[in-house]
């Protein structure tokens, strides 16, 4: 027994780093608008009152329960079948009730099997285990930053009984390996919060919980996932030996906007990554969801940890490797920023970072290409002047959320740039209290007719 426990905890060690949920309320509902009419009425499958014990050696079709429970927030797959947001899954007809999807009270045990987690292996609900891209309507996961270590999301269960006592609630989220075309498996799920109490009473059908989720689980949910994920919640009612299972298909597109991270991107002139998010650059991969996250090691260009040649634009981050692609027509080129007179020897231009949240900062640097630059080659150090054209130092202070820097450029350098058809800048935001930096590449056209060296000389001298 002990050995089994040890084995299980080894296998599921990734599952035990969770946080407790807090019970928000078990509010009353007035009117039936929020309560499924059929769900609370006698239509619910309430057959032979075989009380509250599952014998897995028996045919699961024989399992009868008197209580039913569904997850309404985020709307579960089964609930969406009921609402007809999901098609060809009319599990409400006849004796197939939506709310009686039950499995072992401890998800670590063998039931339900991998691939049958949505149905808990019950043939009535087997349709819920289908998995192909786009099969299930998804619900936005509403998620907010709670404090520096946690996010929070609200989870709502509804029951067909007005009052009952819940023993525990658990919430699992898929990790970055989940895609909606594969069966749901334990190895794709992290336990992110859990609430346990012997006397947690539900009043008026509803149980709402705040689930506090560690940042790393949110990262795991978002990074790599193709903007879709799974939330699994289980509820164990007191004095029963099984739990209700509900799987919700969640879309992460809207959620990413709600996630505030210590990240940023260059929006003047528009960076490669930002143009991906704006869908001006195509076939960009995951960066479209988070142009602010091109995070790599700091110390460019000399530190051996900083992004190597060919991987500078992605910050050497595998998720964003598309950014490292090259070719004369690969990236949309924006105009060289507006140029002003600075003094007798220099002109200047502005560059602006947008920081989705500020962070203690070393400095922000801007590098500009040299005459070796060719868009047909992987971006390398030999394409760039390795002395930044400008640097703004913060000494650990916080930049503004829109941080503009004025970059002086010598007339001589400007004259050289004027001869080139393609230009490129790299800006690096070096963080003060971590070993990381954010990398942004800006693909530029050659100087415009008004911006020629001769014109600027006339204007400024």
Contacting residues toward ligand NAG, per CB under 6 A: 19, 85, 90-91, 93-94, 96, 123-124, 137-138, 146-150, 175-177, 212, 220, 338, 340, 342-346, 348-350, 404, 406, 408
Least CB distance from residue 97 to ligand NAG, whole Å?
10
| Rounded Cα–Cα distance for residues 72 and 210 (Å) | 14
Least CB distance from residue 166 to ligand NAG, whole Å?
20
Residue 323, class by beta-carbon neighbours within 10 Å (0-12 exposed, 13-18 middle, 19+ buried)? buried
Residue 275, class by beta-carbon neighbours within 10 Å (0-12 exposed, 13-18 middle, 19+ buried)? buried
Least CB distance from residue 382 to ligand NAG, whole Å?
25
Least CB distance from residue 19 to ligand NAG, whole Å?
6
Q: Dump strand ranges (E) for 224-263.
A: 228-237, 242-251
Least CB distance from residue 61 to ligand NAG, whole Å?
6
| DSSP strand pairing (264-268 vs 139-140) | unpaired
Q: Which is nearer to ligand NAG, 66 or 96 (CB)?
A: 96
Q: Which is nearer to ligand NAG, 95 or 421 (CB)?
A: 95
Block residue for tokens 């003094």: 343
Burial 100-111 (b: 16+ CB within 10 A, else e): bbbbbbbbeeeb
Q: Which is nearer to ligand NAG, 146 or 297 (CB)?
A: 146
Least CB distance from residue 239 to ligand NAG, whole Å?
28
Residue 325, class by beta-carbon neighbours within 10 Å (0-12 exposed, 13-18 middle, 19+ buried)? middle
Q: Which is nearer to ligand NAG, 22 or 376 (CB)?
A: 22
Q: Which is nearer to ligand NAG, 205 or 268 (CB)?
A: 268
Q: Which is nearer to ligand NAG, 176 or 258 (CB)?
A: 176
Sign of CA dihedral 69, 71, 77, 79: positive
Least CB distance from residue 332 to ligand NAG, whole Å?
21
Q: Which is nearer to ligand NAG, 270 or 437 (CB)?
A: 270
CB neighbours of 265 closer than 8 A, spacing ≥ 6? 271, 273, 274, 291, 292, 294, 353, 354, 438, 440
């Amino acid at each position: 027994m002990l050995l089994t426990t040890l084995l299980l905890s080894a296998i599921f060690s990734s599952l035990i780093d969770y946080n407790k949920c807090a019970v928000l309320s078990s509010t009353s509902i007035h009117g039936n608008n929020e309560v499924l009419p059929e769900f609370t009425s006698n239509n619910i499958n309430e057959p032979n009152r075989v009380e509250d014990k599952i014998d897995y050696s028996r045919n699961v079709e024989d399992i009868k329960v008197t209580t039913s429970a569904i997850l309404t927030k985020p709307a579960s797959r089964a609930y969406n079948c009921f609402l007809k947001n999901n098609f060809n899954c009319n599990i409400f007809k006849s004796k197939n009730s939506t709310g009686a999807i039950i499995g072992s009270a401890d998800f670590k045990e063998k039931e339900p099997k991998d691939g049958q987690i949505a149905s808990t292996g019950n043939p009535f609900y087997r349709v819920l285990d289908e998995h192909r891209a786009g099969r299930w309507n998804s619900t936005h996961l509403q998620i907010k930053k709670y404090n520096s270590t946690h996010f929070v999301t609200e989870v709502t269960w509804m029951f067909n009984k007005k009052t009952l006592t819940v023993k525990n609630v658990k919430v699992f989220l898929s990790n970055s390996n989940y895609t909606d075309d594969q069966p749901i498996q334990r190895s794709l799920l992290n336990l992110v919060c859990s609430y346990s109490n012997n006397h947690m009473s539900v009043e008026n059908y509803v149980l709402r919980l705040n689930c506090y989720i560690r940042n790393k689980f949110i990262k795991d949910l978002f990074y790599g996932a193709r903007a879709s994920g799974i939330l699994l919640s289980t509820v164990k009612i007191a004095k029963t030996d099984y739990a209700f299972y509900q799987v919700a298909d969640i879309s992460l597109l809207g959620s990413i906007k709600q996630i505030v991270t210590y990240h940023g991107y260059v929006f003047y002139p528009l960076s490669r990554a930002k143009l991906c998010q704006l869908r001006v650059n195509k076939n960009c991969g995951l960066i479209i969801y988070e142009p602010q996250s091109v995070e790599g090691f700091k110390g460019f260009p000399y530190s051996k940890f900083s992004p190597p040649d060919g991987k500078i634009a992605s910050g050497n981050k595998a998720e964003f490797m598309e950014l490292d692609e090259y070719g004369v027509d690969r990236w949309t080129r924006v105009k060289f920023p507006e140029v002003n007179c600075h003094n007798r020897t220099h002109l200047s231009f502005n560059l602006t970072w947008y920081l989705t949240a500020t962070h203690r900062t070393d400095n922000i640097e801007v590098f500009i290409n040299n005459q070796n630059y060719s868009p047909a080659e992987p971006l390398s150090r030999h394409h760039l002047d390795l002395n930044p054209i400008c640097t703004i130092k913060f000494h650990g202070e916080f930049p503004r959320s829109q941080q503009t820097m004025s970059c002086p450029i010598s007339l001589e350098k400007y004259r050289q740039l004027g001869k080139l058809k393609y230009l490129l800048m790299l800006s690096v935001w070096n963080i003060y209290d971590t070993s990381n930096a954010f990398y942004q590449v800006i693909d530029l056209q050659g100087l415009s007719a008004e911006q020629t060296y001769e014109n600027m000389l006339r204007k400024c001298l």
